[in-house]
């Protein structure tokens, strides 16, 4: 099948599919005319990558997951370990975002939003600015 069909079936844009090919995540066959010829297995891998990326896995983590997926002698503990590491990264990001939200909420509450030119938000940003 052509890249348009692979795109429709996988839910990924053609540009992303080409990128995944360029970095070696997938390797479709080439037809005699030189065009990419995607097999059902390629579409399956594209769907796999789409889902993994939507769960926050990086391209390199997807490469590891694909290698584990294709290795039938893998230990499921290896997959679990990779997923636990991703979960820890997400938890850390949630903590950082929560702290960021609390800081912004404090700044919003410190500003009365009047017609006066003084603004505690700008003052705080100015005091924290790196030189």
11-50 pLDDT per residue, tens? 999 999 999 999 999 999 998 888 899 999 999 999 999 9
Band (pLDDT 50/70/90 cuts) for residue 127 is confident
Can you give the pTM of this predicted structure? 0.79
Residue 56 three-state SS: coil
- Indicate if 102 and 41 belong to the same structural domain: no
Q: Residue 118 belongs to what domain range?
A: 78-131
Domain count, the chain: 2
Residue 61 and residue 85 in one domain: no
pLDDT value of residue 37: 94
Q: Identify whether residues 51 and 10 lie together within a single domain.
A: yes
**Would you place residue 130 in the very low, low, confident or very high pLDDT band (cuts 50, 70, 90)?**
low
Whether residues 57 and 104 fall in one domain: no
Q: Are residues 40 and 55 in the same domain?
A: yes
Do 80 and 65 form a contact (C-beta atoms < 8 A)? no
Report the Cα 92 to chain-centroid distance in Å. Answer: 16
Phi-psi region of 123 (alpha: psi -120 to 50; beta: other; left: phi over 0): alpha
Radius of gyration of the chain (CA): 23
Which residue(s) pair with 52 in the sheet? none
What's the confidence (pLDDT) of residue 123?
87
**Domain end residue (candidates: 74, 100, 118):** 74
DSSP 115: S
What per-residue confidence (pLDDT) applies to 131?
Answer: 46
Q: What is the model's pLDDT at position 49?
A: 97
């Amino acid at each position: 099948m052509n890249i348009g069909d692979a795109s429709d079936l996988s839910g990924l844009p053609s540009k992303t599919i080409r990128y995944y090919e360029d970095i070696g995540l997938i390797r479709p066959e080439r037809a005699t005319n030189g065009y990419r010829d995607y097999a059902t297995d390629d579409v399956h891998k594209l769907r796999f990558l789409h889902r993994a990326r939507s769960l926050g896995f990086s391209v390199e983590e997807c490469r590891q997951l694909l290698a584990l997926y294709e290795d039938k002698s893998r230990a499921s503990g290896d997959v679990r370990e990779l997923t636990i590491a991703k979960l820890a990264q997400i938890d850390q990001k949630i903590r950082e975002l929560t702290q960021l939200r609390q800081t912004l909420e404090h700044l919003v509450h410190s500003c009365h939003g009047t017609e006066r030119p003084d603004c505690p938000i700008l003052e705080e940003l100015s005091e924290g600015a790196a030189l």
